[in-house]
Amino acid sequence: MRVLSIGQYIPTDSPVHGLDPRTKLGVVALVTVALFSVTRFEAFAVLAGLLVLAVRLSRLPVRSVLRGIKAVGVILAITLAAHSLRWGSPPAGVPSAGSLWLDPAGAMTGVFFAVRIVLLVVTTSMLTLTTSPVALADGLERLMRPLAVFGVPVGDVAMMLTVALRFIPTTAYEAEQIMMAQAARGARFDQGGPIRRAKALVPVLVPLFVNLFRRADVLAIAMESRCYASGRRRTRMKELVMRASDWFVLIGSAVLCVGLALVM
């Protein structure tokens, strides 16, 4: 369960780490829109090339960036199977196993959607791997600041989103530790059908939620002891400033993504 990369932060000295968090959030939003707008593999190849360049510039271990793909392996398998496999009388010359046969056109569609998922996971992983939780909260708060006119507590919303994102790997690690402890006491999680395996996970959920509530309580006490108060304007040790490099990356990404969405 420690294959998750979303929510983890690896501090290094790189051009990608030095970008403003608002720039990285904007680039992720643009790439996401482009991924769901394009309809050709050529567009995916262009976006994949840009992601490879970003990984090289970030100086992150490639295994850390690709770790999230393993976490969505089941989703990728289901996507491929749902589009590739058909039930019924197979056409002539098509590989089959009884009434189950492989649809070549559906397989290409499944690969297309699987590639989209992989690129989306890598893009979001790059955001959290190169942006600290504090910087990410500041960036979200700045971007949502116009909503404060309508009474939306943007500071609290940004803090909640950041804490939830940060607790994703923590929750996975806690679950793994509990499962290992119960497996050492004779519990088996890999035997029986789906219903039996689901029932075997019930004893894991109870201590997991207890630990999560305990961590949440400790975090709340720590925030109160540091005078954190909802709705108050807080000062920052480091104010966010959009530099020329940030504008270059943001405008260049916007032009490229809009161009891909219109052409491909």
Q: What is the pLDDT of residue 1?
A: 45
Residues 121 and 19 in one domain: yes
Q: The pTM is what?
A: 0.71
- Domain for residue 20, yes or no? yes
Domain range for residue 75?
1-133+239-264
In a domain, 146, yes or no: no
> Is 99 within a domain?
yes
C-alpha angle with apex 148: 128 to 226, nearest 5 degrees? 60
β-strand partners of 96 = 101
| CA dihedral sign of residues 140, 151, 153, 34 | negative
The answer to whether 122 and 51 have CB atoms below 8 angstroms apart is yes
Q: Which tens digits make up the pLDDT trace of 70-128?
A: 777 778 888 888 877 777 666 666 666 666 667 777 778 888 888 888 888 888 888 88
Separation between Cα atoms, residue 53 and residue 161, nearest integer Å: 28
Examine the pLDDT at 4 and tell me if it is beyond 60. no
Does residue 2 have a pLDDT over 60?
no
> 51 and 125 in one domain?
yes
180-221 tens-digit pLDDT: 877 777 766 666 666 766 676 777 778 888 888 888 888 888
The 10s digit of each residue's pLDDT in 17-55 is 888 888 888 888 888 888 888 888 888 888 888 888 888
Domains: count for the chain: 2
Strands across the sheet containing 85-87: 85-87, 100-102, 96-97
Running DSSP on this structure, what letter comes out for residue 192?
A: S
Same domain membership, residue 243 and residue 125: yes
Residues in contact with 132: Cβ distance below 8 Å, sequence separation at least 6, in sequence order: 9, 11
**Tokens standing for 53?**
């360049």
Return d(Cα 83, Cα 38) in angstroms, integer.
19
